[in-house]
């Protein structure tokens, strides 16, 4: 078990690194096509086998409040990037589905975003360090119960 000082120090370093890298990624993100939060929705939907999630499950993946997610999904529906369907297993539930147009836009933006991530993260760390970073951050996330 680590001591409190080391835990706080490591968290501060991780948090500051994330903020610094995100600032850079935000400046390079193609916001003329998609906002960062819209991209996050499309990203999470694209990772599902059927490219669909119940809205309450989508909420768990995003750093937004439920009403904000609902408004964001409505904007994406209006743009034809996602569609909403009733949950056949629970009529009260809503399923958000990625459309082909939404998936195509996601892929185009993802290529640009991946290049940016590679420049900002991949240029600073070796492949071994990247794998270790992934292992450590996964371990932290899993310790939260998610």
**Structural domain includes residue 24:** no
- Residue 88 pLDDT class (50, 70, 90 cuts): confident
Q: Are 102 and 76 in contact (CB under 8 A)?
A: yes
**Structural domain includes residue 128:** no
Q: Provide, rounded to the nearest whole percent, the portion of the chain with pLDDT above 90.
A: 77
- Residue 50 pLDDT class (50, 70, 90 cuts): very high
Reduced to 3 states, what is the DSSP secondary structure of residue 88? coil
**Structural domain includes residue 91:** yes
In this predicted structure, the answer to whether residue 1 has a pLDDT above a threshold of 70 is no
**Structural domain includes residue 26:** no
**Structural domain includes residue 65:** yes
For position 116, what pLDDT does the model report? Answer: 95
**Structural domain includes residue 42:** yes
Q: What is the pLDDT of residues 97-110, one digit of tens each?
A: 999 999 999 999 99
Domains contained in the chain, number? 1
**Structural domain includes residue 55:** yes
The boundaries of the domain holding residue 92 are 33-112
d(CA 9, CA 117): 25
For position 136, what pLDDT does the model report? Answer: 95
> For the domain that residue 95 is a member of, what is the CATH number?
1.10.10.10
Mean pLDDT of the chain, nearest integer: 92
In this predicted structure, the answer to whether residue 95 has a pLDDT above a threshold of 90 is yes
- Residue 2 pLDDT class (50, 70, 90 cuts): confident
CA dihedral 112, 65, 22, 61 (to 10 degrees): -60
**Structural domain includes residue 96:** yes
């Amino acid at each position: 078990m680590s001591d409190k000082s080391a835990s706080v120090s490591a968290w501060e370093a991780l948090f500051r690194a994330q903020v610094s890298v995100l600032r850079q990624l935000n400046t390079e993100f193609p916001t003329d096509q998609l906002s960062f939060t819209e991209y996050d929705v499309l990203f999470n939907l694209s990772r599902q086998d059927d490219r669909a999630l119940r809205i309450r499950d989508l909420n768990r993946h995003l750093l937004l409040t439920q009403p904000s997610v609902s408004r964001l999904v409505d904007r994406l529906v209006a743009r034809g990037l996602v569609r909403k369907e009733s949950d056949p297993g629970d009529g009260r539930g809503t399923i958000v589905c990625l459309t082909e147009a939404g998936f195509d836009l996601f892929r185009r933006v993802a290529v640009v975003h991946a290049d940016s991530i590679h420049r900002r993260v991949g240029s600073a760390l070796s492949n071994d360090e990247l794998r270790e970073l992934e292992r450590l951050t996964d371990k932290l996330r899993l310790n939260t119960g998610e």
